[in-house]
Structure 1
């Protein structure tokens, strides 16, 4: 009986070793980390012929998938109703500006209250994913810096977004050639800091 058990034990050990050598050993599943919405932020910058405006917009939720200290996937949601402008100091003009960019000429936040980004590929320092904005989804790729420490992952990236790809045409020279110095740049920039942990 002992001999049979010994032989069976050797057989099981050999099978496990063979699977490992063949690359069939079980792989550690990616770990899901929740986005820290208070520690994460998005700074936006939009330019026009006569100047520029900037401010912040909030991330409402999200998660990152991490395996062996590397980000392999994830998603986050942007609260389009949270947008603020920090460079206009006159309260009345500030409110007028925000009212304009959140209505039909730009982001239509009542109809599209959120935007989302879903990571579909990570290759080196480049992240590719699907950005859904203004009800339209486009694939974008951008470089990012990702660090991991004390159980937290921080990803930072500067993401240029062409608003006309998302059917936001107001003040664009692509569609209004004679607009002159009232033109607004098609591309606005998002400076994203995403912090995630358990």
Structure 2
């Protein structure tokens, strides 16, 4: 026992610093990770989302508002993001007559189109960003791919965008083309109905976005 006790004490003395070193290493690694991965919170007041839908006899355009969202930033590059759109805020901007405007907006919110009462939000989650080769300054520099959910139906879409991070802000802007029929929006689609004549509505509509997000928190990984 006289020999064993000093040995145990010596072992404890050497083990303590090693344990402390491991804890310090873990803290350093965690600090490095959190410093590299930051969450930027979307600013709905600064961000915009516009839509255009075309038909044989013309087109309509308007806006819809973001509800919330965030962009994941690694270093000085956007690495991901999730955005929620408030479908109850759909507006038309091209019909001046109040009655006609309200009629169109009501129709867009109905089950013929976006079923807003049943599905008040739509979401987009970035799954990958691929740099565009030889992109000029100020032009689209990324191909954004992500999962778009409308009416509870999710499909992957891709589109070019200008994406960047500067001075505590993350930004993305561009235009996405969406096939509405993939989200069970078939009203007056020539792909599903015959003899529509000049009442045909294009399957594709576009969403033009300008997203601004501010650094808010740190993402743990």
TM-score (norm 1): 0.86
The equivalent residue for 1:94 is 101
Structure 1 residue 30 and structure 2 residue 47: aligned?
no
Structure 1 residue 133 and structure 2 residue 150: aligned?
yes
Q: Rg: which structure is higher?
A: 2
Give how far 1:148 is off. 2.4
Aligned mate of 1:180, from 172, 192, 197: 197
CA distance in 2, matches of 1:97, 1:120: 34
- 1:21-170 equivalences under 5 Å are 27=33, 28-124=35-131, 125-170=142-187
CA distance in 1, matches of 2:44, 2:124: 15
Give how far 1:189 is off. 0.2
Work out the number of aligned pairs and report it: 178
CA distance in 2, matches of 1:99, 1:179: 22
Give how far 1:137 is off. 0.3
SS of the equivalent of 1:178 reads coil
CA distance in 1, matches of 2:144, 2:166: 20
CA distance in 1, matches of 2:37, 2:156: 23
Q: Is the 8 A contact 2:36 2:75 kept in 1?
A: no
Aligned mate of 1:192, from 160, 184, 209: 209
RMSD (CA atoms): 1.8
SS of the equivalent of 2:204 reads strand
TM-score (norm 2): 0.77
Give how far 1:150 is off. 2.0
Name structure 2 gaps, 5 residues minimum: 1-16, 26-31, 132-141, 216-221
